Chain A
Amino acid sequence: MGKFTKEMVDDYADKLLIGLTPEENKMVLDEFEAIDKSIDVINEIPNISEVIPMTHALDDFAFELREDIAEESIPIDEALRNAGGVEGREIEVPKVVD
């Protein structure tokens, strides 16, 4: 193993804006090991790379694109009613700096 390390797990979690406890970190590694083993099974399937990945549950039905018709905007009080910070008609957050 060793391809997925404790440090990597923390780094991934951080990029996902998630904090992990050491126990959670370890569980990720354990679970990952199991997944990695089963992926080995997949990779043994012959000519697997020639198969087109299945990205949608159905790819055999006809559908139409939406006509370009504008609809009413959401009422502002409804749009903002669940937000933890509002200023006027806008969502307010701590200052975003690049």
Chain B
Amino acid sequence: MKKQKAVIGLEMHCELKSNSKVFSGARNSYNETPNANIAPVDMAFPGTLPVVNKKCVADALKMSMALNCTQPEYMYFDRKNYYYPDLPKGYQITQMESPVGINGHIEIEVGDKLVPVDIHDIHLEEDAASLDHYFDTSTIDYNRAGVPLLELVTEPCLHSAEEAVAFLEHMRDVYKYCDVSEADTKKGQIRCDVNISIMDEDATEFGTRVEVKNVNSFGGVYDAINYEIKRQSALKEAGRYNEVEQETRRWDEESGTTIHMRSKVDAIDYKYFVEPNLPKFKITKEWLEELRKEIPRLHLERKYDYINNYGLSNYDATILVKEKNVADYFEECLNLGIDAKVASNWITTQVLGYTNKYEVNIQDIYLTPKRLKDLTDLIKDGTISSKQAKEIFFKVIEEAKEVKEFISKDNAQISDKEELTKIIEEIINNNLNQVNEYRNGKTNLFDYFVGQVMKNTRGKANPVLTKEILNDKLKG
């Protein structure tokens, strides 16, 4: 059999952050108490009507622009009609004909390569209610009904489980950067459908496409894709590719397999048509420009900026851009004039070490970029040592005081050349044996002398100056 190539398309649903639901005024937040976040239209009481939430549209448009999609002149909604007990109206309000974005494209990082991904469309829609199942009954909670969802559909342009997961992770970060979603898979805020087919590597025609529905973790997406590639390839290898059916399957987390749901012939016709209760909404250029300004610089762009223009390592840059708050903190440090590498070192080790340990937000710690600047300036001009700076770092945060409060005569570094020279000369005079050994080639004794100086000054000697004077004096 020829070498096979996988062709993968993703449908990624992500819950948006907002005060109220997308088509009703009910609260949009997770609530343990069932049916505590409900408006009449969420339960489809006769005569109720949907009303579009402006913030949800704004956030959807921001994402559309972030994905380099084309925005429509008029946005409207469509009904997707089907019967299911979790769908109170008997249809879902979604966007089919005129979504917030079409024909987008982005680049994602897979390993150390940049991979282009084409976006078919991105659209705003509503979530369904949630069902709980018991022995012979189910119960329905409408808290989730009407929660805003953004559905993003890629072209079938991905070729491995790694790429698919990298795309999802990339998008999760984009959603978080733009602050439109918590994008937390653990809370079920991201759900995926995956389309997978295989084809000969040199073929031009796609193979038979299988859709795997309701994969709710990135790990699940990874495993489901690999399972399907293996399943389809095995059938093809065995000469039974005709048994690969255009069908919808379901990912079964427990068994780690996909299970047949329905065949193409049983595909539901959703009878889409334009939602008449929501008028066509003109998206003005002015509004788009306003929204565009609210889109922050995204993580990948920042990362390459840090590497290429500030000389950071890929490793450090990756850590810095992982969260927008951290990257913003770093960039403020740069704006204040802290050397990029110095700032990066402080943030990736000390600052993040602290925020991770105490689970606090980098934006909330007392050591602001301005105070970090004060601290690093003192190291630079030799007032304090790095070791002292680390101690002061904690004190600033814990005691919420300015850096200068911790610089006293008592702990200031000895950077006075004359004073240090005096101390060093005294040490040399008291250790003449070691001086001789050093001069006879036992150069590793240098550290011994540094140690003596530090001991003598209780660590306050400026290490650079110390080394300089020692070098000079030991030469003899």
Contacts and interface: CB of A to CB of B under 8 A. Distances in A.
Interface in B4-62: 18-20, 25-28, 33-40, 43, 51-57
A91 to B, nearest CB: 4
Contacts of B54: 64-68
Contacts of A93: 85, 137-140
A8 to B, nearest CB: 13
Nearest to B132: A90
A94 B141 CA distance: 15
Contacts of A96: 85-86, 131, 133, 138
A35 interface: no
B261 interface: yes
Contacts, number: 114
A94 B25 contact: no
B139 A87 contact: yes
Interface string B209-248: 0000000000000000000000000000000000000000
A68 B20 contact: yes
B137 A94 contact: yes
Contact of A73 (B18, B27, B83): B27
Nearest to A66: B51
A94 B261 contact: no
Interface stretch (B64-72, B274-282, B330-338): B274-282
Interface in A46-98: 53, 55-59, 61, 63-71, 73-74, 76, 79-80, 85, 87-96, 98
A17 B83 contact: yes
Nearest to A74: B38
A91 B43 CA distance: 11
A89 B140 CA distance: 9
B55 A68 contact: yes
Contact of B39 (A74, A91, A98): A74
A63 B52 CA distance: 11
B467 interface: no
Interface in B254-298: 261, 273-274, 276, 279-281
A49 to B, nearest CB: 16
* Residue picked from A66, A79, A96, most chain B C-beta under 10 Å: A66
Contacts of A94: 136-138
Nearest to B143: A73
A74 to B, nearest CB: 5
B134 interface: yes
Given A79-B43, A95-B136, A95-B138, A73 B37 contact: yes
B10 to A, nearest CB: 22
B418 to A, nearest CB: 67
Contacts of B83: 17
B53 A73 contact: no
* Residue picked from A67, A88, A91, A92, most chain B C-beta under 10 Å: A91
A17 B19 CA distance: 36
Contacts of B141: 89-90
B250 interface: yes
Contacts of B280: 55-56, 59
A68 B18 contact: yes
B139 A76 contact: no
Interface string B349-393: 000000000000000000000000000000000000000000000
Nearest to B277: A56
A98 B250 contact: yes
Nearest to B262: A98
A97 B17 CA distance: 31
B233 to A, nearest CB: 27
Contacts of A67: 54-55
B139 A73 contact: no
B140 A76 contact: no
Nearest to A67: B54
B39 A90 contact: no
A90 B140 contact: yes
Contacts of A98: 250, 261
A26 to B, nearest CB: 24
Contacts of A95: 133-138
B38 A89 contact: no
B53 A66 contact: yes
Given A68-B19, A90-B140, A55 B276 contact: yes
A87 B53 CA distance: 32
Contacts of B261: 98
Given A58-B279, A66-B25, A68-B19, A92 B139 contact: yes
Contacts of B132: 90
Nearest to A96: B138
A79 B139 contact: no
15 contacts: A55-B76, A59-B279, A59-B280, A63-B279, A68-B54, A68-B55, A73-B26, A73-B27, A79-B35, A79-B38, A85-B137, A91-B140, A93-B137, A93-B140, A95-B138
Q: Which 6 A-B pairs have the closest CB atoms?
A: A71-B25, A65-B54, A68-B55, A90-B139, A55-B274, A70-B27
